[in-house]
Amino acid sequence: MKHVIILLLTFIITNSIFSQTGPGGVGTTDGMSSLVLWLDANTITGTPGTTITTWVDGSGNGYDFNFGNGAVYNNPAVNGYPAFNFNGSSHYFERAYTAAINPSNFTIFTTNKVASNSTYKSLITSRSNSPTQKGYILYSLPTNNHWQFWTGGAGWESTPNPSTTSTVGSWSGQSFDFLDATNAVHLFIDGNLNGSNTHSYSPNTTTPCRIGAGATEGSASFHFKGEIGEVILFNTVINSAQKTIINNYLAAKYNYPLGTNDLYSQDNTANGNYDHDVAGIGRVDASNLHNDAQGTGIVRILNPTGLGDDEFLIWGHNNALQQANETTDIPSPVVARFTRVWRVNEVNSASNAVDVGAIDIRFDLTGLGAITPSDLRLLVDTDNDGVFSDETPISGVVSLGNDIYQFTGVTTISNNVRFTLGTINKTQTSLPIELLNFSATPINNESVSLEWQTVSEFNNDYFTIQRSKDGVNWQEISKVDGAGNASSLLSYFTADKHPYMGVSYYRLKQTDFNGEFEYSKISLVNIIDENNLKIFPNPANNQITILGKQAKLKEITIHNALGQDVTALTKKNVKNDAHLVIDLSKLNPGVYYIKTKTTTSIIHKQ
């Protein structure tokens, strides 16, 4: 009996905790999987047209890129989603050296729209120069804009140019992997294998990683020109089924076609633009499979009973409200259903329909109010006529705890069909979604404006505004009463008049009368302390970068440990009004003081 209990607990832990919430449903976002970095512009809340200087990591590891000059936040940029616009001369994000994002094996995915110019356009760079060149770079060449990769060696020529493809002017996806056991390097453009090579590789062990810039002797260079929406890094070479799923997730989200294995056609306009929160399961063969996925949405599909070779099930939704306010197109005894609808492709690589067998479908209804499980119904448009009122609702949902509800052994899902969730009791299981948006905006570097809207409210008691310096430890700073029950658009506003200096995070907690609560997306702000300078790297080799107010940068002098002014031995390179690079190559190793009229900072020259 003891062994049965152990096996049961193992099943519960595996299937309830480690939900595949990474891109396309590959990897987890709790820092416990091979997904080690996930930069997604869609997780950033900012004012369109402004420069954001921190790109928050969504992998659960907290590897935020919080140095560099940042880039301009463009929302919407493509298909309703935001991206960062890089100017090709000074924009980039940087993270100090981090071993975890310099693994010996890796798979990298990016989505972008590269602009043509005459210099190298480095998209992601993690490269060290001394004593030998190490690391990786994905970049677009000048003049012909062909995509290339680099994995260390004596020079740029060390990795033979594998690509003859330019994607200039169009949204596109690239992936780039390295397998240490065989020294195999591969570059994929829009799902197509575009170049490969056998080449030795040693991970970078000292220098920062940059998004949107390369490196020459430690300083940012070879700046990317164009827009970047997403950068994803796994610390392994993920299998071919997982690559196919992620490629379909990215292609649907950023609205570009795949050259190979474009399996998800429900993102096409003719099929209804089910572009959102795309995820999937699939199998190429016994060594290349993925049978459990949730992704960025609330639907998780797992445990297929008949998943065979070259079979995939991929789904996404129409981005309608996740709220049960559709009361017309419903079958009895359902009284209301989500206006949000999901649609699937269940196909092979030739886009022919297949059957992966019975599946378990889970809905994460966190924050959707009180739920009586017996009220829930799964609705499947089995005849694919776009109508649910002529279908038979599926009951028998099981509560797995933590607001997770499962329909087990579902057999009615097939290629092209739609599905959604309904309730037979709108009073006790109303399935509302209250929060429409939440934004935190710095005002004159003195306060933070906090605004949000609700499209409806059900038993909404109050909102709590929370802030954090590190995104982990939260402090409640304000409380605002809710409307209780409402069915119209409501707007709320408050302000933090005493914000943290530098980067900080805000979120909204909404609490019902019964004590249930939900959190909003996290919004990042950066309050610039105009009296302080940002100086990096430290320790430094031959140069340092200084960010700060223009007036402060003009005052800078450099002194050695004896107090002597050695500014004349350095060379200043003004990048812009707030960006200064200083050449320290003529200074001896030691401690130096960077001074203005009111501040002193210490650096160590190696």
pLDDT at 153: 61
Q: What is the CATH number of domain 435-525?
A: 2.60.40.10
Q: What is the pLDDT of residues 515-544, one digit of tens each?
A: 777 788 888 888 766 667 778 888 888 888
Q: Residue 222: which residues within 8 A CB-CB, separation 6 or more?
A: 119, 120, 121, 122, 125, 139, 213, 214, 215, 216
For 245, list phi and psi in degrees, rounded to 5: -65, -45
Which parts of the chain have pLDDT scores under 70? 1-18, 130-131, 153-163, 216-217, 432-435, 455-456, 458, 487-488, 528-531
- Phi-psi category of residue 578: left, alpha or beta, with phi > 0 → left and psi -120 to 50 → alpha: alpha
Residue 550: enclosing H or E segment and its boundaries?
Answer: helix 550-555
The tokens describing 352, both together, are 């022919």
pLDDT at 17: 44
SS3 216: strand
* Amino acid letter, 219: S
What pLDDT does residue 198 have? 83
- The residue extents of the domains of the chain are 27-237, 265-417, 435-525, 534-605
Are the C-beta atoms of residues 524 and 56 closer than 8 Å to each other? yes
Distance, CA of 128 to CA of 67 (rounded, Å): 18
Amino acid 483: pLDDT: 84
- Distance, CA of 273 to CA of 385 (rounded, Å): 16
Q: Which CATH architecture has domain 534-605?
A: Sandwich (2.60)
Distance CA 477, CA 499 (A): 10
- Class for domain 27-237, per CATH? mainly beta
Q: How many helices (H) and strands (E) does the chain have?
A: 3, 43
Domains 435-525 and 534-605 share a fold: yes
Are 5 and 483 within 8 A, CB to CB? no
